[in-house]
Structure 1
Amino acid sequence: MRDINLKATEYFEAVARLGTVTRAAAELGVSPSAVSQQIRALETQFGVRLFRREKRRLTLTLDGDRLFQTTTQAFGALRNARSAIGRQRDMRALTIRVSPSFGVRWLGPRIADFAAANPDWNIRIDATPDFSSFETEAVDLDLRYGLGAWAGLTVDCILHDFVMPMCSRDYLERLRALSDDPVEQLRQARLIDSVKALYRWDIWLAANRIELRDLSYPFRFDRSSMSIEMARSGGGVALDSAGLCLDELERGDLVPFAPAIPVIVFPGYWFVCPPRHLNRRIVTRFAAWITGEAQAHEVRSRALLDRLGCSYREESGPDLIDAGTGRQ
């Protein structure tokens, strides 16, 4: 490639494509004599004539046509790539990383409203349990599940979690047919384990001083959405986030297993980003929007749980839990 005169080739392609030296010069922003000089230099380098000069018209020779077919494709591809890069550079984009279950069950039904209010922005949702490495990844913000202990970042709680055992109404009726005692019902129940949740069965049982002879899990899922769906379809009792299945609770597809046992409430969902990212207007706009959505959701959650006869136990977070745990 080093022996190819790329500048002369560019000038040749412009003349062949546009049909005249004058038009090519105008596109390239040079004089017609400069274009003619480069064409002659290219013909000298190849040792062939590229154009036939008939009066004031230029016609490609066979060699010239062969070179044009190749160069016009190459330069066309370069022009397209340049345009695409320019569009990408100028594109107004917001990239959010969120845990999968929270993204699908909570953020997903709401994000269209934010997009409608910000039509000039492109929004990318990266649903993964892995937290962003903001120094090496092009991510604007995380919506994280955890205890909020992430040093060096802006960390604001947007939503409390409401954790309680839940199951389908039919499944609860079958358990109550076996016993009136919730503890004995649990001993007969199939427990559904959400393995990435902060509150799991062993912690919940200890906090409520409930002992089971054999703590086993017929079902274990690494996605809260799967645990919730299993409970909804009558597969057992899930200990999970009421906030992630509020619609199912409102419809009666899920019911509290034991309303007399307090719902565990703790700050669980966080807006996280480097402080410098708040200099982007779209990031602060999203932060304000999601805070409002979360507040409305929390009011709705407490109102429903109150109607269902639930009580609450407020906590700052379960003990002995790694702050890096992420709900999936």
Structure 2
Amino acid sequence: MRDSNLKATEYFEVVARLGTVTKAAVELGVSPSAVSQQIRLLEEQFGVKLFRREKRRLVLTLDGDRLFQTTTQAFSAIRNARNAIARQRETRNLTVRVSPSFGVRWLGPRIGEFAAENREWNIRVDATPDFSAFDTEAVDFDLRYGLGSWTGLTVNCVLHDLVLPLCSPDYLDELQQVSNHPVEQIAAARLIDSVKALYRWDLWLASNRIELDELEYPFRFDRSSMSIEMAKQGGGLALDSVTQCLPELRRGELVPFSTAFDVIDFPAYWFVCPPRHLNRRIVSRFAEWLTRKAAEHDAEARTLLTGFGCTFRPESGPELIEVVPWRL
């Protein structure tokens, strides 16, 4: 084997299989002259002719055919093994698509635990607001933000949004110096708008029968993470979900604006995939882990808010929210 020219043997196998030097050169990604040179080297090594030319094709000689029968089986076995290894490597990839703020603020701090429990898997998280086209994209499942109305897919609720006005303790002190009345405080507040949130200020104000002379947003962000950061820095009053900022509430960097208003409670985060994807063990394993982590988070969030004195108003979704009398 040490005397064998494997490169020339590989070139020979391709030429014999395809019938022309030109086609072999294309498959091998080299020039036709390079292919011809390797064939000459192999013929010199064996001391026999391996091809004879008939019109525009190369035809194997008896010796060439004997060599081809052996080499094509060997190289076919190598190609099959290579493809099997590639497929095996591909099946060890788990691809998740998630909304950016949820990915950064909720999934990001937790997914290391799942990765540590499944070290043989490569995990890719694609943070984008765009939903997956499962028929054309290699995505195992989405963690979608929305109302759950996606037909033809497996759709399971992961987490509820627990929405309420939030601000820093210092900014709350500023508002309380303006007035003791929460509605007057809101009228004086700098409202931070999360433009892609399901539940925004106009809906929240209407549902609580609060009318402002003019609804203005000094700050508007297309990511909840940016709205939360602005509120944490004392920039204003953010209407956002505890799902996104539980650590800030736990540390006291954010506080509920007023317990006079119910926490709006509705399903908003969903595990979504084609039913067949759940046949992959790693997908069902992630779904089980996700359900467990979400339950732990939800229990902590509700306990913390209850400790602040908050009450909850369950809803099916923002489009079904009823306007209720505001109360002090």
TM over 0.5: yes
User: Does the residue aligned with 1:37 lie in a helix, a strand or coil?
Assistant: coil
CA distance in 1, matches of 2:305, 2:94: 34
Q: How much has 1:259 moved relative to structure 2?
A: 1.8
CA distance in 1, matches of 2:82, 2:175: 61
- 5+ residue gaps, structure 1: 22-31, 46-80, 322-328
Q: How does 1:182-193 map to 2 (within 5 A)?
A: 182-193=182-193
Tell me the equivalent position of 2:108.
Answer: 108
Checking the alignment, whether the CA contact within 8 Å between 2:259 and 2:311 is kept in structure 1 is: yes
Q: 1:112 to 1:12 in 2, by over 3 A?
A: farther
Q: How does 1:216-227 map to 2 (within 5 A)?
A: 216-227=216-227
Checking the alignment, whether the CA contact within 8 Å between 1:98 and 1:126 is kept in structure 2 is: yes
Tell me the equivalent position of 1:89.
Answer: 87
Q: 1:14 to 1:289 in 2, by over 3 A?
A: farther
The RMSD of aligned alpha carbons is 2.9
Tell me the equivalent position of 1:306.
Answer: 306
The Cα offsets for residues 217-270 of structure 1, whole Å up to 9 and x where unpaired, read as 111111000000010001100001111100000111001011221100111110
Q: How much has 1:213 moved relative to structure 2?
A: 1.0
Q: How much has 1:308 moved relative to structure 2?
A: 1.2
TM-score norm. by structure 2 comes to: 0.75
Tell me the equivalent position of 1:37.
Answer: 49
The Cα offsets for residues 40-73 of structure 1, whole Å up to 9 and x where unpaired, read as 879xx9xxxxxxxxxxxxxxxxxxxxxxxxxxxx
CA distance in 1, matches of 2:291, 2:36: 57
Checking the alignment, whether the CA contact within 8 Å between 1:260 and 1:309 is kept in structure 2 is: no
Q: How much has 1:89 moved relative to structure 2?
A: 2.7
Checking the alignment, whether the CA contact within 8 Å between 1:155 and 1:273 is kept in structure 2 is: yes
The Cα offsets for residues 65-94 of structure 1, whole Å up to 9 and x where unpaired, read as xxxxxxxxxxxxxxxx99997654321111
Tell me the equivalent position of 1:273.
Answer: 273
Q: 1:237 to 1:3 in 2, by over 3 A?
A: same
User: Does the residue aligned with 1:319 lie in a helix, a strand or coil?
Assistant: helix
User: Does the residue aligned with 1:129 lie in a helix, a strand or coil?
Assistant: coil
Tell me the equivalent position of 2:70.
Answer: none
Amino acid at match of 1:250: R
Tell me the equivalent position of 1:119.
Answer: 119
Percent sequence identity over aligned pairs:
61
The Cα offsets for residues 193-233 of structure 1, whole Å up to 9 and x where unpaired, read as 00111100011011111111111111111100000001000
Checking the alignment, whether the CA contact within 8 Å between 2:102 and 2:244 is kept in structure 1 is: yes
Checking the alignment, whether the CA contact within 8 Å between 1:145 and 1:268 is kept in structure 2 is: yes
CA distance in 2, matches of 1:14, 1:170: 82
CA distance in 2, matches of 1:96, 1:223: 19
Amino acid at match of 1:150: W
Q: 1:308 to 1:88 in 2, by over 3 A?
A: farther
Tell me the equivalent position of 2:197.
Answer: 197
Q: 1:260 to 1:13 in 2, by over 3 A?
A: farther
Q: How much has 1:14 moved relative to structure 2?
A: 9.4
Checking the alignment, whether the CA contact within 8 Å between 1:95 and 1:124 is kept in structure 2 is: yes
User: Does the residue aligned with 1:285 lie in a helix, a strand or coil?
Assistant: helix
The Cα offsets for residues 148-180 of structure 1, whole Å up to 9 and x where unpaired, read as 110000000011110000011101100101100
Q: 1:84 to 1:253 in 2, by over 3 A?
A: farther
Q: 1:15 to 1:312 in 2, by over 3 A?
A: farther
TM-score norm. by structure 1 comes to: 0.75
Tell me the equivalent position of 1:262.
Answer: 262
Checking the alignment, whether the CA contact within 8 Å between 2:21 and 2:35 is kept in structure 1 is: no
